[in-house]
């Protein structure tokens, strides 16, 4: 397809600069986003519970009644984990400060596990925030701070996603003239620039639908509060956007619907679904509710893991449902489809593995884009000047690219590698995660500027590889020496975490060994 030269140059300019200004933040977002596909296994791997016996719903109901009668804080919020038999997590979780499961680094949780004698064993502990840290990096690109709508970095990433959209559109237009001829040509014998360009093009074109969906939904996630505020100011004025009668009636705890009755309400909407958990909130207040996580891999689910169904826990009246969005009209179906497309919450574990691979490929796409910029602007050696001096902008971007991208990987690897060791000495290591990540990240950036790109790349890749290697070794030590106090892998998902991290270790160490001193 022919495109005029001046138009090509314009879109090439747009693609280059929108990519180069956002590539490093998008690298962090995509690398961390790939890991969030297995957020729950990661959280359980860091701080697993011991093996539990099979428990019936009747036993859980009996213990739930006891907890609600004896534990005042549980009435404010308690999570009933109906999938505990499969994922080896506690049957009940509630919080002394009643702040729920939002990210709170100082938060303590109370766990209730039903033992082999049908007795409730209660423990106090801090829930690990490692997987929450990875998720926060995914959403913010690692930019700290909060604003009126939550994380400040989310707003920045919304703006970054707009530039990302420009990069996608302009990149496709630039590629049109050679799309058919050289789409899948990976030329390894024509220099670094051609290799990086071919790799970049193949990844960009083959994952184009994925990137369009991620880009569009990221913009919506970042600015949906601002959209609501604008609609309220322009259309509704002083009137509330959502007309809902304020509840005034409270109910005695004896009238609380049973777990089975609430489960039947969910199954009446989708008989093929599985109710994973129930979160009871404000049971002694007029705004009492129970939110159920409803899983059906044959459906496009609205949430990151499952659909959500909110029901009044005393009357059984449905207050919100994202199950079967097709019944809510075309708009609800479109929204649900986009949510599911962003989270990969459809098609079961196979789709999650595909999203994991696409996330890592996306990170490499942005990294290779920056390398292309560097290769294109590198001053080539000549006979008269065999070792030319590169420009300051070239040097700074090269160092920043290495420091930021490899620093994010090294920071995450450090947090994960030290998790089980730190838990031997401290109950709450959530503050340590933030310190470790940002110290390693900033150290990586500084080392890139002090040591230069070659030494920093080699050092950071080897550092990350050795840390990743230490993670499965730690699991083996925990298995061989249970007296150390670390919990060894017990379920298949824990072994998968170790196996994937081992693969990362091999890749990082191999790349570090292959790096050659630039001529």
Structure tokens at 393: 């902008």
Distance between CA atoms of residues 150 and 174, nearest Å:
37
Distance between CA atoms of residues 82 and 194, nearest Å:
54
Q: Which residue(s) pair with 146 in the sheet?
A: 151
Distance between CA atoms of residues 218 and 25, nearest Å:
13
pLDDT at 8: 82
Burial class (CB in 10 A: 0-12, 13-18, 19+), 177: middle
CB 399 within 8 A of CB 448: yes
Tracing tokens 């082999």 back to the chain, one arrives at 116
Least confident of 131-135, 195-199, 232-236: 232-236
Distance between CA atoms of residues 442 and 408, nearest Å:
9
Q: Among residues 229, 219, 288, which one has the least CA distance to residue 76?
A: 288
Distance between CA atoms of residues 500 and 468, nearest Å:
9
Distance between CA atoms of residues 262 and 5, nearest Å:
64
Structure tokens at 366: 């942005």
CA 411 to chain centre: 15
Q: Is the dihedral of CA 154, 155, 160, 164 positive or negative?
A: positive
Q: Is the pLDDT score of 371 beyond 90?
A: no
Q: Among residues 41, 47, 39, which one has the least CA distance to residue 423?
A: 47
Residue 329 backbone class (left: φ over 0; alpha: ψ -120 to 50; beta: rest): left
Q: Is the pLDDT score of 100 beyond 50?
A: no
pLDDT at 188: 67
Q: Which runs of consecutive H residues, i.e. helices, occur in 37-189?
A: 39-46, 57-70, 84-87, 130-140, 152-175, 179-182
Predicted confidence (pLDDT) per residue in 438-488, tens digit: 999 999 999 999 999 899 999 999 999 999 999 999 989 988 888 887 777
CB 460 within 8 A of CB 447: yes
> Which range, 80-84, 231-235, 334-338, is most confident?
80-84
In the chain, what is the straight-line distance between the N-terminal and C-terminal CA atoms, in Å?
39
Name the pTM for this structure.
Answer: 0.87
Structure tokens at 150: 């939550």
pLDDT at 401: 92
pLDDT at 2: 74
CB 195 within 8 A of CB 186: yes
CB 68 within 8 A of CB 111: no
> For 258-408, where are the E strands, in sequence order?
274-281, 289-295, 307-311, 318-321
Average pLDDT, the chain: 85
Distance between CA atoms of residues 508 and 337, nearest Å:
36
Tracing tokens 């609800």 back to the chain, one arrives at 332
Distance between CA atoms of residues 240 and 72, nearest Å:
34
Answer with the residue of higher pLDDT: 446 or 126.
446
Tracing tokens 């777990």 back to the chain, one arrives at 259
Predicted confidence (pLDDT) per residue in 482-498, tens digit: 888 777 777 777 888 89
**Can you give the length of the chain in residues?**
519
pLDDT band for position 103 (50/70/90)?
low
What's the angle, vertex CA 363, arms to CA 362 and CA 366, rounded to 5?
90
Q: Among residues 362, 367, 364, 392, which one has the least CA distance to residue 377?
A: 392
Predicted confidence (pLDDT) per residue in 9-53, tens digit: 888 888 888 888 899 999 999 999 999 998 888 888 887 766 566
pLDDT band for position 126 (50/70/90)?
confident
Burial class (CB in 10 A: 0-12, 13-18, 19+), 317: exposed
The secondary element (H helix, E strand) that includes residue 141 is none
Q: What DSSP character marks residue 346?
A: S
pLDDT at 106: 72
CB count, 10 Å around CB of 272?
Answer: 9
Distance between CA atoms of residues 225 and 147, nearest Å:
12
Q: Is the pLDDT score of 236 beyond 80?
A: no
Question: What are the angstrom distances between the C-alpha of 79 and each of 43, 91, 374?
Answer: 16, 8, 51
Structure tokens at 99: 């702040």
């Amino acid at each position: 397809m022919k495109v005029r030269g001046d138009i090509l140059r314009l879109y090439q300019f747009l693609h280059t600069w929108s990519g180069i200004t956002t590539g490093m933040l998008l690298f962090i977002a995509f690398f961390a986003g790939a890991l969030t596909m297995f957020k729950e296994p990661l959280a359980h791997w860091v701080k697993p519970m011991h093996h539990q016996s099979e428990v019936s719903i009747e036993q859980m109901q009996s213990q739930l009644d006891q907890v609600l009668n004896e534990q005042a804080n549980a009435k404010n919020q308690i999570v009933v984990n109906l999938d505990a038999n499969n994922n080896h997590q506690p049957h009940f979780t509630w919080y002394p400060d009643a702040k729920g499961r939002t990210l709170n680094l100082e938060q303590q949780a109370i766990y209730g596990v039903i033992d082999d004698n049908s007795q409730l064993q209660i423990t106090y502990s801090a829930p690990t925030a490692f997987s929450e840290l990875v998720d926060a990096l995914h959403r913010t690109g690692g930019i700290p701070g909060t604003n009126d709508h939550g994380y400040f970095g989310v707003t920045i990433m919304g703006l970054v996603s707009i530039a990302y959209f420009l990069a996608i559109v302009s990149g496709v237009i630039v590629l049109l003239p050679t799309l058919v001829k050289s789409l899948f040509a990976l030329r390894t014998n024509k220099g670094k620039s051609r290799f990086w360009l071919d790799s970049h093009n193949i990844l960009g074109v083959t994952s184009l639908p994925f990137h369009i969906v991620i880009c569009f939904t990221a913009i919506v996630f970042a600015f949906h509060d601002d959209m609501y505020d604008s609609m309220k100011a322009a259309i509704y004025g002083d009137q509330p956007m959502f007309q809902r009668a304020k509840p005034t009636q409270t109910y005695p705890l004896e009238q609380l619907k049973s777990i089975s009755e609430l489960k039947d309400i969910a199954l009446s909407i989708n008989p093929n679904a599985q109710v994973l958990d129930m979160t009871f909130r404000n049971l002694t207040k007029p705004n009492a509710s129970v939110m159920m996580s409803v899983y059906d891999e044959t459906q496009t689910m609205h949430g990151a893991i499952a659909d959500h169904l909110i029901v009044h826990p005393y009357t059984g009246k449905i207050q919100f449902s994202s199950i079967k969005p097709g019944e809510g009209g075309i708009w609800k179906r479109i929204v649900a489809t986009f949510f599911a497309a962003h989270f990969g919450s459809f098609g079961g574990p196979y789709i999650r593995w595909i999203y994991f691979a696409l996330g890592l490929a996306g990170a490499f796409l942005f990294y290779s884009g920056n390398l292309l910029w560097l290769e294109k602007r590198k001053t080539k050696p000549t006979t008269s000047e065999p070792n030319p001096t590169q420009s300051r902008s070239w040097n700074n971007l090269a160092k920043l690219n290495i420091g930021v991208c490899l620093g994010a990987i090294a920071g995450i690897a450090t947090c994960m590698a030290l998790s089980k060791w730190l838990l031997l000495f401290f109950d709450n290591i959530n503050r340590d995660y933030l310190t470790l990540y940002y110290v390693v990240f900033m150290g990586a950036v500084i080392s890139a500027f002090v040591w230069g790109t070659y030494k920093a790349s080699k050092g950071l890749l080897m550092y990350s590889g050795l840390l990743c290697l230490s993670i499965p070794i730690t699991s083996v030590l925990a298995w061989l020496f249970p007296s150390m106090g670390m919990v060894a892998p017990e379920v298949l998902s824990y072994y998968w975490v170790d196996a994937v991290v081992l693969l990362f270790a091999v890749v990082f160490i191999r790349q570090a060994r292959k790096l050659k001193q630039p001529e």
